[in-house]
């Protein structure tokens, strides 16, 4: 069995706009399984990785739909909890003419937010190598923050790679105010961080100084996206580089970032999921990892939806040939 990748956080229902209006002017939506960490778990599974999802959904129709959907895509759901204390989270996703998204969340509180630190089982981290992935949607209140940090502590104790996708969603935070100190503290716990330049500019007046601080503090790899501009990466030893995404016809950007992250984590797992070895990756190895991740993200935007758009290994490798 290949190295275990465990994505932790929210699984939710994406109600995706059909992009057209009925005669009375009402927008219509179709149900898809979603949630950024769940998307990442499916992305890894679609590529053939040993993918697991950890988190909690409601013991309701939507929750059972999400659990079965993950399983159908090859994600192991033994670490996916269900509760009757709250409902499964919902997100309504509208798309503009270019495929860009806007979100409206129903998640306060939802089942995923009731996951607690002691819900983690140390047996989940028994493999000698692995990757534990989180994103900032599990930082929006104190209790789920503590659960997230507890999961990271378990992963570090097991010497797993800790992956962080900043993925800021301001409308998930109380009063739409992001706790910048909380987010940066969480980022400092990571080995691999992916963020957009726009997100870093929310967190700091000096985004590249923040990257330098994080690398100096022990982060092994920082990946910076910036819309359609090249993906830049920074690593210890002053290693840096960039990868230009291929030109594709964009249908839907819903899972682009998650496909990218899934591709990156798949590469790290395939290279052993070794936290110590990661710090000694060569510039060529890092470039290969980022190029593959870019190919996954580029392929995902050519199809609609979240899970259905995530590429297989064959599709990702085919798209990889378009990256010069």
Instruction: Using the structure block, give the residue that is written with the tokens 């470039």.
Output: 287
* Per-residue model confidence as pLDDT tens digits over 230-280: 999 999 877 899 999 999 999 888 889 999 999 999 999 999 988 888 988
What is the pTM (predicted TM-score) of this model?
0.93
* Per-residue model confidence as pLDDT tens digits over 18-41: 766 555 667 788 888 989 999 999
- H runs (alpha helix) in the chain: 36-46, 61-72, 142-157, 180-187, 197-203, 207-216, 256-270, 275-278, 283-300, 313-320
Q: List domains and CATH numbers for the chain.
A: 4-320 (3.40.1190.20)
Pairing relationship of beta strands 27-34 and 50-58 according to DSSP bridges: unpaired
Q: Averaged in consecutive runs of 10 residues, what is the pLDDT profile of the chain (324 residues)?
A: 92 81 68 92 98 98 97 98 96 71 82 97 96 97 97 96 96 93 98 97 96 95 93 88 93 89 97 89 94 97 88 96 88
Across the strands, what pairs with 229?
A: 226
**pLDDT score for 269:** 96
CA angle, 31 as apex, 26 and 36 as ends, to 5°? 115
CA distance 178 to 324: 38
């Amino acid at each position: 069995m290949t190295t275990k990748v465990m994505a932790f956080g929210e699984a939710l229902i994406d109600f995706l706009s059909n992009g057209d209006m009925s005669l009375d002017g009402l927008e219509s939506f179709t149900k898809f399984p979603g949630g950024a960490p769940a998307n990442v778990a499916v992305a890894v599974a679609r590529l053939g990785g040993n993918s697991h999802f950890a988190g909690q959904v409601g013991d309701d129709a939507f929750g059972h739909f999400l659990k079965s959907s993950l399983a159908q895509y090859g994600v192991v759901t033994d670490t996916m909890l269900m509760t009757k204390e709250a409902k499964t989270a919902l997100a309504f996703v509208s798309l503009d003419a270019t495929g860009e998204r806007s979100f409206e969340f129903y998640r306060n509180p939802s089942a995923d937010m009731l996951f607690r630190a002691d819900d983690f089982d140390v047996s989940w981290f028994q493999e000698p190598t692995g990757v534990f992935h989180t994103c900032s949607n599990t930082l929006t209140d104190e209790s789920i923050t503590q659960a997230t940090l507890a999961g990271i502590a378990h992963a570090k104790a097991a010497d797993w790679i800790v992956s962080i996708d900043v993925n800021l969603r301001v409308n998930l935070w109380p009063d739409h105010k992001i706790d910048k100190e909380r987010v940066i503290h969480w980022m400092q716990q990571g080995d691999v961080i992916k963020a957009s330049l726009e997100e870093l500019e929310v967190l700091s007046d000096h985004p590249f100084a923040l990257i330098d601080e994080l690398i100096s503090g022990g982060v092994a790899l920082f990946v910076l996206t910036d819309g359609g501009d090249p993906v830049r990466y920074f690593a210890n030893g002053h290693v840096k580089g960039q990868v230009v995404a291929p030109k594709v016809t964009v249908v839907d950007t819903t899972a682009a970032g998650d496909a990218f992250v899934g591709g990156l984590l798949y590469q790290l797992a395939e290279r052993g999921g070794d936290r110590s070895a990661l710090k000694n990756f060569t510039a060529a190895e890092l470039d290969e990892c980022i190029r593959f991740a870019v190919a996954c993200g580029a392929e995902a935007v050519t199809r609609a939806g979240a899970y259905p758009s995530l590429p297989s290994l064959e599709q990702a490798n085919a798209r990889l040939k378009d990256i010069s």
